[in-house]
Structure 1
């Protein structure tokens, strides 16, 4: 029985968005699930941004993450090893990891390089679940997470734009994509 890891990141931004190279992770959420989408374990941490330590008003309103949350958090070079220690016991059973779109993968790869960090995830396949969902549903273009949940007959659980809630909701869609494609076995 194998596991999949679904990761969601929240990052510094401004209305209209910033290019990924200007963004910094402020929250990591991860849900470790079996192929049936049942959560085995989870991880959530706030991360203190270094280059732009003050969150914009737009970012605070979008994510419901306060300045105090990130001010009291550790930086990514401290938080990422905590994540790797959390993931280590599960790594032998981990088939891969996914996120809703490619942003999270791009941001992680950028920040691993920027901070000289390594990750077990680098050796595993990454699935763009947003694209896979659109392909499975034969949609003309990929849709947002909330719209995908609605198309699947589900509602969003929790607060949107919070990393662990977004990861858990994305994980709920994983079995629909993976089982239909035969990419994993039901466990």
Structure 2
């Protein structure tokens, strides 16, 4: 039996509804932005990117905390498609890159996809394994400490690009971290 070779790392970062006063329980948070890049395993370049805002339905009004944290405005989500349409677009995009591995910074993004897919009765869109880049980064450094993405960039001497807590920008930054980890393994 031939082993399927993965050609891409699908690096995803989500932003979700949130608040600082616990008025939105964790199990009611919803994805409001999908940011993703396809990192080519042969060239270590980003071959494509995907960005989509999503209109939340459980708590449609963004909190001030969420807007300040993410820079996502109410108008961005009000004009966005709802989850089913957005995730369908995302799935169509990821399917155009066969042989990819789903990666994210930590397990939050995977859990949020599972939660939102269950709520909206939509099949989980990933068929590959999941790589937790946050864990790989700690292993790369040989420490047990878990770093935030911005701390990891700083640790590697990589400048944070774009706006922190914006899905598409963080996906690009996570790709930079992963590229450096992988190139060090190859060297």
Q: Same fold (TM over 0.5)?
A: yes
Q: In the aligned structure 2, how far is the partner of 1:99 from the partner of 1:16?
A: 26
1:41 maps to which residue? 48
Unaligned runs of 5+ in 1: none
Determine which structure has greater relative contact order: mean sequence separation of CA pairs < 8 Å that are 6+ residues apart, divided by chain length: 1
* Residues 3-39 of structure 1, C-alpha deviations (whole Å, 9 max, x = no match): 1100000000011665531210000000011125310
Q: In the aligned structure 1, how far is the partner of 2:95 from the partner of 2:124?
A: 10
Q: Secondary structure at the match of 1:10?
A: strand
Q: CA RMSD in A?
A: 1.9
Tell me the CA shift for residue 177 of structure 1.
Answer: 3.2
* Residues 14-69 of structure 1, C-alpha deviations (whole Å, 9 max, x = no match): 11665531210000000011125310000001000000000000000000000011
Matching of residue 142 in structure 1 with residue 175 in structure 2: no
Counterparts of 1:1-187 in structure 2, within 5 Å, are 2-15=7-20, 19-35=25-41, 36-90=43-97, 92-94=98-100, 96-121=101-126, 123-180=127-184
Q: Secondary structure at the match of 2:37?
A: strand
Q: Secondary structure at the match of 2:175?
A: helix
Q: In the aligned structure 1, how far is the partner of 2:177 from the partner of 2:32?
A: 24
Residues 84, 119 of structure 1: 8 Å contact kept? no
Residues 37, 174 of structure 1: 8 Å contact kept? no
Residues 17, 31 of structure 2: 8 Å contact kept? yes
Unaligned runs of 5+ in 2: 1-5
Residues 71, 166 of structure 2: 8 Å contact kept? yes
* Residues 98-156 of structure 1, C-alpha deviations (whole Å, 9 max, x = no match): 111110000001111111212441x2010110111011101231111111011111010
Q: Under a length normalisation based on structure 1, what TM-score does the superposition of the two structures give?
A: 0.89
Q: Under a length normalisation based on structure 2, what TM-score does the superposition of the two structures give?
A: 0.89
